[in-house]
């Protein structure tokens, strides 16, 4: 029997295969081609990762028109629209596509169903890079819904030719509720050919469910603009945690959160390096949480190859670095 204050450490947590691939792509490009390497938007949504890569020579830009003509630019893990690719081509940019293959899968679904003249309802957060890139594949066929109010405003041409797709980092349970609401409006709504919410998102949410009901407080390490990290806080609260907080790093911990708390659940979003979790565990030990229990709900073995411009080169970056996270084949 464990006596004293305990940290329940969720597994899986942290880097997924898509994030690992994208981060390694920037590292490999810097080693292979030298600085600067331009990156459109944050390569992944974690400020510590972005700051580290910037210190190595990556230059993060909002749009490709900020990249010098003919220079090399990497597209982030969240994907881009055809319009962005065309803008890059117009500037003769040398592009490296670090889009997560599971995001690419959803892009291909949009293209397929738009070509078949479906109305496509994309469940996701309006303004998020992934959603904007996905919708940009067929803007005349896609309607983005982020709320029940959005669903009520959806208009379709043929209720028998409507399909829903989703952002890959949503809450599994809340997406199911949104789909149910959509089906109330459109009884013949078609489902995607396979689940769009990625394995890593689902696994991390399942892991949080396994610790939330046992935890007085759940701490999620992840940046504020990380959709999957924010969802983990919501999932924890919905599944029994008395309180849940998101932090970028251990320096943001408030000791007041743990007054009267014997058990703290701990996890991290899919774009969070493990050292930030280790630092958080060390900080919690200072508050008396000496016991550490690992709660593992799945084992991940997914591997995504690097972009073709990089995968056959080895310049001081180990190939094994990209393979940290069950292979779901992207179409």
DSSP state of 137: T
Select which of 130, 132, 137, 309 is catalytic: 130
Q: Give the integer Cα–Cα distance in Å for 209 and 331.
A: 30
3-state secondary structure of 85: helix
Alpha-carbon 208 to chain mean position = 16
- Geometric angle at alpha carbon 260, from 255 and 266, rounded to 5°: 60
- Geometric angle at alpha carbon 78, from 314 and 14, rounded to 5°: 70
3-state SS, the chain, equals CCCCCEEEEEECCCCCHHHHHHHHHHHHHHHHHCCCEEEECCCCCCHHHHHHHHHHCEEEECCHHHCCCCCEEEECCCCCCHHHHHHHHHCCCEEEECCCHHHHHHHHHHHHHHHCCCEEEEECCCCCHHHHHHHCCCCCCEEEECCHHHHHCCCCCCCCCEEEEECCCCCHHHHHHHHHHHHHHCCCCECCCCCCCCHHHHHHHHHHHHHHCCCCEEEEECCCCCHHHHHHHHHHHHCCCCEEEEECCHHHCCHHHHCCCCEEEEEECCCCCHHHHHHHHHHHHHCCCCEEEEEECCCCCCCCCCCCCCCCCCCCCCHHHHCCCCCCCCC
Q: Give the integer Cα–Cα distance in Å for 79 and 135.
A: 11
Q: Is 300 a catalytic residue?
A: no
Active-site amino acid positions: 130
């Amino acid at each position: 029997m464990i006596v004293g204050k305990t940290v329940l450490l969720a597994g899986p947590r942290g880097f997924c295969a898509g994030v690992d691939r994208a981060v390694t792509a920037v590292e490999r490009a810097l080693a292979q081609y030298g600085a600067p390497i331009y990156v459109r938007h944050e390569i992944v949504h974690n400020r510590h990762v972005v700051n580290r890569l910037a210190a190595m020579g990556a230059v993060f830009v909002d749009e490709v028109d900020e990249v010098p003509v003919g220079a090399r630019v990497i597209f982030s893990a969240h994907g881009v629209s055809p319009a962005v690719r065309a803008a890059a081509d117009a500037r003769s940019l040398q592009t490296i596509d670090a889009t997560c293959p599971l995001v690419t899968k959803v892009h291909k679904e949009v293209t397929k169903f738009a070509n078949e003249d479906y109305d496509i309802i994309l469940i996701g957060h309006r303004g998020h890079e992934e959603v904007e890139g996905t919708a940009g594949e067929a803007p005349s066929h896609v309607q983005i819904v982020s709320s029940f109010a959005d669903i009520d405003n959806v208009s379709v041409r043929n209720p028998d030719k409507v399909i829903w797709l989703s952002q890959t980092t949503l809450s599994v349970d809340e997406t199911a509720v949104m789909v149910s609401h959509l089906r109330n409006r459109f009884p013949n709504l078609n489902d995607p050919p396979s689940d769009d919410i990625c394995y890593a998102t689902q696994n991390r949410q399942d892991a949080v469910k396994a610790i939330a009901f046992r935890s007085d407080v759940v701490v999620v390490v992840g940046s504020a603009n990380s959709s999957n990290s924010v969802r983990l806080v919501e999932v924890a609260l919905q599944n029994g945690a008395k309180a849940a907080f998101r932090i970028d790093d251990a320096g943001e911990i408030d000791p007041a959160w743990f007054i009267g708390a014997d058990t703290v659940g701990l996890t991290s979003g899919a774009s969070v390096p493990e050292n930030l979790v280790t630092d958080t565990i060390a900080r919690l030990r200072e508050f008396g949480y000496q016991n550490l229990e690992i709660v593992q709900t799945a084992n991940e073995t997914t591997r995504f190859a690097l972009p073709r411009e990089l995968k056959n080169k080895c310049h001081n970056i180990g190939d094994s670095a990209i393979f940290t996270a069950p292979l779901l084949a992207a179409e």
